[in-house]
Structure 1
Amino acid sequence: MSIAPAVRLPTQDFAPTTHKGLIYPFGGQEPALGETMSVRPGIQWVRLHIPGPLRHVNCWLLDDTDARGDGVALIDTGMNTDSARDAWKTLWRGPLAGVRVTRMIGTHFHPDHIGLAGWMCDRHAAPLVMTRGEWLTARMLVADARDAVPSEMIAFWRGAGWDDAQIAHAEARGWAGFRKIVTPLPLGYSRIVHGDTLTIGDVAWQVIVGSGHSPEHACLYDPVGAVLIAGDQVLPRISPNISLGVTEPEADPLGEWFASIARLKQVPDDVLVLPGHGDPFTGLHRRLDAMDREHRERLDELAVFLAEPRRSVDCFGRLFRRAIGPDMLGMATGEALAHLRRLEVEGRAVRETIDGVWWYRAL
């Protein structure tokens, strides 16, 4: 796909702030609970609380028209929690009263982004729009929900170096967590692929698909309005989680993510980036370069650390700046394994299995 150049349009009258070379044009202002905030003509910002360290997720409303008349296309929804449902109900009673969702667009399958997608589709008789990889993954995780943790998962945790107490803690949480925080998705959906043009209202949005954080994450780019709806592919202050998981243990998610960064660098640097978490910003290329550099530096440090054989759990201190507790253990393990797998793919490390535990050493 040839990505068209952007045309700059003025932002609203906010005092911008800067941090590490990025410009935040709205100066830290954000929509309050039960309110929306305009970021460009025809684009409204909604921020919802989510549990965990990220604390919030951003959702975007784009002016749209379909056969039934005017409305908004909704991009992402927040998690299926009482607080998120209440926030949307407050919005539909207040600033969004009488506003209909014409289509429900999910950037990727993670529950903080599509947790209420099915609920929205039912409420507004709106079609669901996603990439095939994201929709199928969500459907698979819901269908696979069960009480007991599968033996393959326990073997995966043990291979990563978890001890008996850590495994027991995870087993106690069960295997139905995803289904509990996602409303049932429609049986059918409208597929988007990389290179598609999605006309929303009078704007032609280009679909840019990346992977690494999730299988086929969709970003939307408006070259005329100079806006990139980035989801979790580009976050302003943290790097998205890049994990290797039990469903595809020989994958190379970090390699895929590096390739996605290169693809996104085709988008002009001066676009307004609307991320899934954090504040809108400009300075896309600086942020892409920083994320790329950060992970390559971690790989180099890890390669040195593997002078002696290590398990993935032994590598946390080289990859993360804080202690990893039980609630973050799964994500930390997945990210450590993604880096170790990348070193294998690059021919810089090798894995050996001893008594069911994976040991990595540098070559």
Structure 2
Amino acid sequence: MRDGLEETAAIPEHPRPKLTYPFEAGPASGEAIDVAPGVKWLRMPLGGSLAFINVWAIEDGDGWAIVDTGIASPDTAKAWRAGIAGPLEGRPVTRVFVTHMHPDHIGMAGWLTRKFQCRLWITRLEFLMCRSLAADTGREAPADAMTFYKAAGWDEEALETYRSKFGGFGRGLHALPDSFQRLSDGDTVRIGEHDWQVVVGSGHSPEHACLWCPDLKLMISGDQVLPKISSNVAVFPTEPEADPLAEWMGSLRRIKGRVPDDVLVLPAHNDPFHGLHARIDHLVGGHERGLTRLRQVLAEPKRAVDVFHVLFRRRIDAGLLGLATGESLAHLNHLLATGQAIRERDASGVDWYRAAA
């Protein structure tokens, strides 16, 4: 699933932290920028509002360890061929690390690992969840999902659109490798001349792996910490009672307590930046303020689709309806889990939320 709502997520109008960006511009397609000794920054095309994803090449003996891969497409394959022949000097890929299972991150992992006969390194939950979602390709939309979105307040047209488009996740992936090397929180992985620590977060995805190198003062953050947009945190039909917002905010607080503020953050979207702790504070604070506003709006009963204006800055059209609904439900579920809201289902199967007394 693409993170298409990231740029619409409602961090309220509040002074943004003054982050610093050491690079004037990012690399062009097929080119690379050195961000530290032995670490290169490349970009892979995405199209749409996000335009590209940042990927990273870390010198690893005679070749390169790659972190994140881009979505599966002919344009991405072309960009990889140019990058490998050009700034990566034709040297082989030794390992492919993937922060998490969204197609813009893992989409080309199967292509790269097969081309270079190397191993995929990923957390277990991300690998298994990716395989599970890819297996839905071509399936009909399950009844549970239709019930889930009807309860959120979707009309018949929206439900029919969902039904017709269900099972598209796997179209952004090359076939996954059949095996992987597991990453776990707290692992230390030697890549080339330096140790990198695995720092796991959750909420945006089940077991998202960041890579932190104390020697180089770098953290590859994936989608866990982005400088200008807020990652989508959503509830999906597969786990309708989940509280991913609690996981997300808790993960960010743990990262702040573990990773020093002097790192250069290498995010999946936007540019590398300094100011990790300030950005984490801003992200957590934004969601906390959103929860406060949401509880106030629930003085009168509301459906999930009725609270978009509280959580998002721009109008939610049909293309963003699924992600907006999932993120709204993440906030509503958090209020339910903390005893701040009550949910009641009416006779037509629609859920109504109101603030607890």
2:38 is equivalent to residue 22 of structure 1: no
The AA in structure 2 aligned to 1:182 is L
2: distance between equivalents of 1:214 and 1:100? 30
2:74 is equivalent to residue 82 of structure 1: yes
Deviation at 1:160, TM superposition (A): 0.9
1: distance between equivalents of 2:217 and 2:17? 22
Deviation at 1:94, TM superposition (A): 2.4
2: distance between equivalents of 1:340 and 1:249? 11
2: distance between equivalents of 1:159 and 1:85? 41
1:39 maps to: 35
SS of 1:50's partner is: strand
2: distance between equivalents of 1:230 and 1:242? 16
1:79-107 Cα deviation digits (max 9, x unpaired): 01121111112223322342111011010
2: distance between equivalents of 1:201 and 1:246? 42
Where do 5+ consecutive residues of structure 1 fail to align? 1-18
* RMSD, aligned α-carbons: 1.1
Deviation at 1:176, TM superposition (A): 2.5
Identity of aligned residues (%): 48
1:166-209 Cα deviation digits (max 9, x unpaired): 11122222x22111110111111000100100110011001000
1:6 maps to: none
Alignment of structure 1 residues 313-324 onto 2, 5 Å: 313-324=305-316
- Alignment equivalent of 2:297, drawn from 295, 298, 305: 305
1:9-32 Cα deviation digits (max 9, x unpaired): xxxxxxxxxx741000113x1101
2:179 is equivalent to residue 188 of structure 1: yes
- Alignment equivalent of 1:96, drawn from 88, 109, 116: 88
2:261 is equivalent to residue 269 of structure 1: yes
2:350 is equivalent to residue 357 of structure 1: yes
1:256 maps to: 247
Deviates more, 1:175-184 or 1:295-304: 175-184
1:229 maps to: 220
Task: Specify which structure has the bigger relative contact order, considering alpha-carbon pairs within 8 angstroms and separated by 6 or more residues.
Answer: 2
Are 2:344 and 2:352, in contact at CA under 8 Å, matched by a contact in 1? yes
Deviates more, 1:244-253 or 1:279-288: 244-253
Deviation at 1:267, TM superposition (A): 0.9
2:129 is equivalent to residue 132 of structure 1: no
1:4 maps to: none
- Alignment equivalent of 2:188, drawn from 162, 182, 197: 197
The AA in structure 2 aligned to 1:356 is G
Where do 5+ consecutive residues of structure 2 fail to align? 1-15
The AA in structure 2 aligned to 1:280 is P
Alignment of structure 1 residues 143-292 onto 2, 5 Å: 143-173=135-165, 175-265=166-256, 266-292=258-284
SS of 2:20's partner is: strand
Deviation beyond 4 Å, 4+ runs, structure 1 = none
**Count of residues in Structure 1 that have an aligned counterpart in Structure 2:** 339
2:133 maps to: 141
- Alignment equivalent of 1:55, drawn from 31, 43, 51: 51
1: distance between equivalents of 2:313 and 2:34? 35
